[in-house]
Amino acid sequence: MPFGDRIPKVIALGAVNPVNDPTVRDPAELRDYINFYANQVWTHHWRRMLVEQEGALAEVMDSHLPHFPKTKDYAYDAVAMLNQYALFANDEGLMQFPPARTYEGTAAGAVMVSSDHACYAELGFVDGVNCIMHRRHNVAEFQEKVQFYRQRPEQLAAIAEASVTMVRERYSHPAVARQLYGDIVQIYDRGQ
């Protein structure tokens, strides 16, 4: 869908699971995980914060995040949503790595709105260039930055274009295969 025809809001998608997930049939499977994250309640704290702020964020964000005790919402097609909206909320979750949505959303042409966590910079994301970043777990800044770019549709469209280009150049199947092949050749050559 052309960027100008997209819904000019953030779409919030994904699971919102507690660390001690009641949907896991055998709680013993989670024992080490629960012990390691004993001071954490949610696997995706940012998503939970967005759920709690849905009303306050309604002007800038639509949400398909589940409300506990529901942990997932299967009533939508994530790819279709990412193709309909101009922006999407992203978070690195409890284990501090970017979810698959990082690549799905940007490749679909939506602008990623994420925290300023270092994992995104390591992947090549730059605030205001190919994504929008806010201070981690800062709902007010999230809202302010989204509103800022919504009021500048040409700038937002340029960010979307730069994002698609970067993700497709670096993370398409052929690009990943070339990088992997190059890395293997280097490792092999060092061993000779």
Q: Which domains does the chain have, with CATH numbers?
A: 3-167 (3.40.50.2000)
Q: Is the pLDDT of residue 192 over 80?
A: no
pLDDT band at 181, cuts 50/70/90? very high
Tell me the two tokens of residue 128: 């205001």
Residues 46 and 131: their CA atoms lie apart, in Å, by 17
**Are the beta carbons of 166 and 124 closer than 8 angstroms?**
yes
* pLDDT tens-digit map of 141-166: 999 999 999 999 999 999 999 999 99
User: Predicted confidence band at 191 (pLDDT cuts at 50, 70, 90)?
Assistant: confident
15-29 pLDDT, tens digit each: 999 999 888 889 898
Residue entry with tokens 């469209």: 157
Question: What average pLDDT does this structure show over 67-92?
Answer: 95
pLDDT confidence of residue 23 = 85
| pLDDT band, residue 1 (cuts 50/70/90) | confident
pTM of the complete model: 0.92
Nearest to 124 by CA among 80, 73, 52, 175: 175
Contact 130, 163 (CB under 8 A): yes
Query: Looking at residues 8-15, what average pLDDT do you find?
Result: 98
Q: Which of 7-11, 45-49, 93-97, 129-133 shows the lowest mean pLDDT across its residues? A: 93-97
Q: What is the mean pLDDT of residues 120-137?
A: 98
